[in-house]
Structure 1
Amino acid sequence: MTIEAIVAKYGLAALFAGAALEGEAAVIAGGVLAHHGLFPLWAAMLAAATGSFGADQAWFFAGRRMRDHRWVAAARAKPAFARAMAMLARRPIAFIFAFRFIYGFRTISPIAIGTAGVSPRLFAIVNAASAVTWGVIFCSIGYWFGHAFEAVIGRLAEDHRLWWVVGGLVATGIAAALAHRHRSRTA
């Protein structure tokens, strides 16, 4: 079985899971794969939207039903939780729609919203609209800029010096994340 056949067979399931767990990078990659014709763009958008919607619904209900659980208490202790609650108090519907577009708020926000007593029906409706918008935007980015992504990847494959640059950037990102994590644990 060729790689194209494997991606064509499991690509949408992987896109669904990637949208639920990782986010934008997986969805943009799904748009690039749709650009290559491995599956239709509408199917990539649907997989991205439903993956994101499902994960956020699960986090919402976890926050709603397990308010006193230790991992929800740990989430409450994070500064992002307090910021999410403040934004939710000011503009609840706008925040429910926008949290997935705000870096650092994607996972913590549905938990916070769930603990805040927001109606499950309201959350589901606004979350669905937001997930569809998000899936369409990020799949479209991958689809419409597929040629540009391919050109960059092609240059990386041809010029081995660029791999050192990419490796350095990845190492710097990992070091910064570890330093941030260490500082947040000791603070």
Structure 2
Amino acid sequence: MLGSFIGDQFYYQMGAHYGQKLIQSNAEFAQKFDRASQFIERYPILTILFMRFAWGFRTILPIAVGVRAYPVWKYVLINLVACFIWAMLVATIGFQISHYLHLFWAKMLPYHQEIYIVIAVLLCIVFFRVLYTVLTWWCKHHQH
């Protein structure tokens, strides 16, 4: 959580100080900045709260917020809340997945020998398939 928070603050400051140079020097960055700016303009608080979940825009959003000169203390507070939301959500999902995996394996435990056999057979199939592919490739490329 702390690393995410510090990273976002770094990107915000980078945007505030060097954002215009970045936008002018990189066309792809400028295009992402334009799209990110639309979200920031319409929904600034929601954008900051949910930027961790915006794949493809995760880095550009805090930079864009800095470029747009969003008030730094407001950004820090909203970003801190966002870090807590993100950490709690990720931890909750992780605990739930862990819980259900534990239940699954507890039910499967009586069948562990059969599971090992199935896994061993699958691994053999994968091993021989890879071996066949490698040998076929080698023979094709090393013919005289």
Q: What's the TM-score once normalised by structure 2's chain length?
A: 0.64
Q: How does 1:21-36 map to 2 (within 5 A)?
A: none
Q: 2:3 aligns with which of 42, 51, 57?
A: 51
Structure 1 residues 127 and 146, CA gap change in structure 2 (3 angstroms) = same
The answer to whether residue 46 in structure 2 is matched with residue 111 in structure 1 is no
For structure 2, the 5+ residue unaligned runs are 106-111, 127-144
* Pair 128,69 (structure 1): closer, same or farther in 2 beyond 3 Å: same
Question: What's the counterpart of residue 92 of structure 2?
Answer: 140
Is residue 57 of structure 2 the alignment partner of residue 85 of structure 1?
no
Aligned-pair identity (%): 28
Q: Which runs of 5+ in 1 are unaligned?
A: 1-48, 165-187
**Contact 1:60/1:113, CA 8 A, preserved across alignment:** yes
Deviation digits for residues 50-103 of structure 1 (CA, Å, limit 9, x no counterpart): 121111111111111112444774376353322110010111111111211222
* 1:124 correspondence with 2:79: no
RMSD: 3.1
Aligned pair partner of 1:65 in 7, 17, 20? 17
Relative to total residues, which structure has the larger helix share, 1 or 2? 2
TM-score, scaled to structure 1? 0.51
**How far did 1:123 drift?**
0.7
How many residues matched? 113
